[in-house]
Structure 1
Amino acid sequence: MPIPRSILGKDDPRDLDLEVVAGTWPQEVSGHYVVSTSDQRTHPVHAFFGDGIMARLALRPGTDGAPAGRFAWRPRVIDTPSVRLRRKRPDLFTAGPVGTSSPWGFVNCANTAPLPWGDRLFATWDAGRPVEIDPVTLEFVAEVGHRDDWRPALDQAVLPLVSSSAHPVVDPERGCLWSVSRDVMTGAFSVIRYDGTGKHVRRWAVEGAALPQAAHTITQTRDWLVLADTAYKVDTDEVFGADRTVANNPGGPVLLIRKDDLDPSRATVRCREFRIAPEVNHFYARYDDSDGVQVVMEHTPGVDIGMYLRADDVDALGRPVDPALRGMYCHGMTPALTTVLRFDPETGRVDEHARAHDPARWWQAELSALDWSMEGQLAPTRHHLVFLGFHPEAINQRALANYAGRVDTSLFPREETPAVLASLDRDDLEPLAEWTFALDDYPTSPTFVPRDPGTGGRSRYAGARPGGHDGHLVVAVHNDDRFRIELFDAADVARGPVAVLAPPRGTTVPFLIHSAWMPEAVAAPSGLDRLRFADDLDARLDALDPELAAVAHEVAAELDATAH
């Protein structure tokens, strides 16, 4: 049973002080590793839909309250308005296959990805506004933008369903955050801009275009926002209790929007549309677009994270699914495919510049590691990713039936295969180095930590030699023996981990989703004009029982009392 059975544990998040259990921790490693996860104690039907937890790991020993020689691991549930409402009336919240609902509306899980912005930190999710949290206390600070600015996919008395992006982007030159708001029924969508302060965001409806399934990722160049229809499709019959029978679209549109066309005096914007296949989930553009818009596309054929494992499921080999995996998303049914595509906004051409496809490498669901500094995005050198391996126990027969004709089961390995951490050349996707994990290891998103950040006139997030090759990779690894933090030399991951941190044996954590690096952890700035939860409360409360309306006002008062 290679997938750790502890991966969906429901233990309370607790502070841990990790110690070096192998290798030597390099003195030059600094800053903080932050990672999002889903609180399994909220009993989601789908493991992705628990309340958000953010964990922070200090990368220098003896800091953040850890004793000398130990490393502070500090997880916290993000106490959003929806979490506070749930704590007051847990009996009124109902988990479903696409999230959790209540009389107040829909929970903003804020559980998928940390998004650093200078010294500020945000948590994101596909079905909610970005949430600012304090990098030190990890407490809720504010949601981004008034609910009406986002034009919710489904409005409610208090908690609207905002179909957005789990991976919005921070624009290093315009000093803003770009996201989207999408109509889940029609796929019509708008571009959202948040300038870092104020109670409102700006919105532009995109003319004549749609994202039929989802907008999980946004990437950018200096002049363009790049969006692609991403492989997550809602099955409305499943929402009402039926089996999931839909399959993700085998391809879809890629949309380029010129940033200069986002005119504050206009309410709409045009885009350039391309078509690609197979489907994608995560993708990353080179910021320099002087030679065209160049994007690393991590394709996801045969990957359906909307499909989750039930206790009564049968796996790919005809065996009953272990109930311990109930709620885990269905794993990849095809080998991985990564390409570099070049889009020409003037001619409408899309050309494949490079391709990486090895039948022995099975799918990548985790966010890849790259140098997120502006210097690194201008001239990226390495693309580091985790191939999770082939795990038939996490592929159910329902998914195979939905993808009949699109999944070639003859390609299935005869046995389960381990995960691999690989480094590819950013331009041509040539493999440079790789490390194979033990079969019972389950690694999560790798994160790049630059060497000597902020030196030599570089920005604070950039190392002395930007690009993704000069520094380290932090990888959190699940294992039933104990979870570990492994540190790799980004220039040569084939050496294996240069150091390993771990808690006492038997200590595990629920599955970790996406991660990031921050050079420092400082308190959220005070005195900024931000949205208050009270600003979202209006006459729509009149639709609620007065007792429930009073609970919403009570939460608003509590948040005002601790506002930054």
Structure 2
Amino acid sequence: MPVPRSILGKQALAAMDVADMDLDVIAGAWPDDVRGHYVVSTSDQRTRPLHAFFGDGIMARLSLTPGTGGAPAGRFAWRARVVDTPSVRLREKRPDLFTAGPVGTSSPWGFVNAANTAPLPWGDRLFVTWDAGRPVEVDPVTLEFVAEVGHRDDWKPAMDQAVLPLVSTTAHPVIDPERGCLWSVSRDVITGAVAVIGYDGTGTRVQRWDVENAVLPQATHTITQTRDWLVLADTAYKIDTDEVFGGERTVANNPDGPVLLIRKDDLVPGRGTVSCKQFRIAPEVNHFYARYDDTDGVQVVMEHSEGVDIGMYLREDDIDVYGRPIDPALRGMYCHGMTPALTTVLQFDPETGQVRERARASDPERWWQAELSAIDWCIEGQTDPTRHHLIYLGFHPEAINQRAMRNYEGRIDPSLFPAEETPAVLVTHDREDLKALSEWTFALDDYPTSPSFVPRGRGGTRYAGTNPGGHDGYLVVAVHNDDRFRIELFDAADVGRGPISVLAPPNGTTVPFLIHSAWMPEANPAPNLERHRFTDDLDVRLDQLDPDLAATAREVAADLDVR
């Protein structure tokens, strides 16, 4: 049983009660030039979400310098906190009124902003995101809630509510290093109409531009950018209306979808709408990353997700690929990959409307489910990237249910399934041609999660190393295992050497399923700026509620105002 049972089971629930841990070096020697902080998001399984990704957000921070962050000499501080958003605070007061569903958690106040998917550093600031809620700012030191980004009405919620609107957005907004703003999106879940959101970092409002004559029919999990363009794509997560109302999930993700290029110079304050260039690609995709330099066209690494249905979660009554009952410990886990992984570099020409494939990477015997990747996020590294580090999770038939097999009949080829489960592989790809430069294969019972790149040395900007691009530095990888979770450190120039150092807590200590991660060079308190307040969201819509529920919302707002 290679998928660790601890990441969603009783061990994980117990581990979340232990907020602070100090990790020891259990193998190798920790290099003196590893600096900064590794931050990672996860979903609180104690809230019992139907889908493992829909629990309330938890943020963890690992200090990469021993003896700092409250850890004793020679040890490494791992600190984790529930992100105490307004919805978390409302749930704490009335947990009986919150109901988990197949696409999130609802209440009389509205929909929970889980804020559990991806950390997003911005200078000294730290945000955390989710696909169905506004970005949330947290304090990098205490990890406490600071604010949601922008007034609810500016985002034009997909479903407005008395207090907690459902905002369909992206879990991967981007920070524009030259314009000094955050770019995100807002999407209508019924029509697929999409808008660009811009936040300049201060104030209570965000700007919104409706994209003309374009729709993204499924989701917008990722967006990316070049110097001159925003790149939006339809991503492979489809809501099944019948499932929402208690039926079976019978939909499959679209096998192809639109890509929209929006010129940044056209996002003029006060204009209200913006045009786009439209393309279409296949197969489907969830994560993608553009080269910032667009002198030679818009080049994007596409981590295709054919045969991976994130929306399909495992149930206790499910049967796996081989006719075996799904282990109840995996209840809520998403359905794993049913096709070999494919990664490409696509080049989009905004003038001609042409798409050209520049490179592709695939190994049907070994590379299954391109899960999460690491790049050098400094502006120098994005402008001239050299490496793309990618974890392939492997083939895990015990985490593929027959309901998904039926939904994708004719689109998957079971004859390609390996004869048995395969381990995860960390691969360093050349950014130009996607050639595999170095690989490390994990043990079969290891389940690695989101890697983060840590630059070596200090370069021209705060997030840069001396040789930007992704080849000169380290990769920090969190690894789930039922014996205990580990933090493994790799040399980004040669991951095939294996981990050069390993951190771990005492035997038997596990953590809940970790999702996306990021790196910050420092952890400083959140700056004192004007921000949106929860109080600003409370207006006449409170009259929809019973008086006691309206009073509870005002009480939460008052508590947040005095912090």
TM range, normalised to the smaller chain?
A: over 0.9
User: Which residues of 2 match residues 252-271 of structure 1 at below 5 A?
Assistant: 252-271=257-276
Mapped contact 2:303–2:370 kept (Cα < 8 A): no
In 2, the alpha carbon distance for the partners of 1:141 and 1:362 equals 40
Alpha-carbon separation, structure 1, partners of 2:367 and 2:327: 21
Structure 2 residue 134 is the aligned partner of structure 1 residue 133: no
Could you report, residue by residue, the CA deviation over 1:346-389 in whole angstroms, capped at 9, with x for unpaired residues?
00000000010110234345331000000000100000000000
**Amino acid corresponding to residue 554 of structure 1 in structure 2:** E
TM-score normalised by structure 1 residue count: 0.98
Q: How many residues align?
A: 558
CA contact 1:336–1:361 (8 Å) conserved in 2: no
Letter aligned with residue 333 of structure 2? M
Question: Which amino acid counterpart does residue 268 of structure 2 have in structure 1?
Answer: D
Match of 1:506 in 2: 508
Correspondence list, 1:288-307, <5 A: 288-307=293-312
Shift of 1:10: 1.6
The yes-or-no answer on 1:552 pairing with 2:557 is no
In structure 2, the partner of 1:543 is 544
Tell me if structure 1 keeps the 8 A contact 2:336–2:369.
no
- 2:58 match: 53
Structure 2 contact 304–370 (Cα < 8 Å) conserved: no
Displacement, 1:263?
Answer: 1.2
Matched with 1:166 is 171
Asked if 1:10 corresponds to 2:13, the answer is yes
1:464-543 paired onto structure 2 within 5 Å: 464-526=466-528, 528-543=529-544
Aligned match of 2:451: 446
Please report how far the alpha carbon of residue 260 of structure 1 lies from its aligned counterpart in structure 2 after TM superposition: 0.3
Partner of 2:48: 43
Q: Is the 8 A contact 2:479 2:486 kept in 1?
A: yes
1:352 aligns with 2:357: yes
Structure 2 residue 326 is the aligned partner of structure 1 residue 321: yes
Letter matched to residue 121 of structure 1: L
CA drift of 1:85 comes to: 0.1
- Report if aligned partners of 2:308, 2:369 keep a CA contact under 8 Å in 1: no
Paired residue for 1:247? 252
Deviation at 1:323, TM superposition (A): 0.2
Structure 2 unpaired stretches of 5+: none
Structure 1: state its 5+ residue gaps: none
Q: Which deviations, in whole Å up to 9, do the C-alpha atoms of 1:515-548 show, x marking residues without a partner?
A: 000000000001x110000000000000000000
8 Å Cα contact 2:340-2:369 kept in structure 1: no
Query: Aligned Cα RMSD in Å?
Result: 0.6
Whole-angstrom distance in 2 between the partners of 1:489 and 1:50: 33
Which of the numbers 7, 11, 26 marks the counterpart of 2:31? 26
Q: 1:13 Cα shift?
A: 4.4
Identity between Structure 1 and Structure 2 (%):
80
Alignment deviations for residues 259-296 of structure 1 (CA, whole Å, 9 cap, x no partner):
00111131100000000000000000000000000000
Q: Is the 8 A contact 2:220 2:233 kept in 1?
A: yes
Matching of residues 116-515 of structure 1 within 5 Å: 116-364=121-369, 366-453=371-458, 455=459, 458-515=460-517
Q: What are the Cα deviations for residues 96-129 of structure 1, in whole angstroms up to 9, with x where unaligned?
A: 0100000000000000000000010000000000
Amino acid at match of 2:556: V
Q: Is the 8 A contact 2:369 2:395 kept in 1?
A: no
Contact 1:444 1:475 in 2 (8 A): yes
Q: Are 1:230 and 1:279, in contact at CA under 8 Å, matched by a contact in 2? A: yes
The 1-side partners of 2:13 and 2:398 are apart by 21
**C-alpha contact (below 8 Å) 1:4/1:440 kept by paired residues:** yes
| Contact 1:300–1:363 (CA under 8 A) maintained in structure 2 | no
Secondary structure at 1:334 match in 2: coil
Q: Distance in 1 between matches of 2:229 and 2:365?
A: 35
Task: Give distance in 1, aligned partners of 2:168 and 2:515.
Answer: 19
In 1: Cα distance, 2:465 partner to 2:151 partner: 37
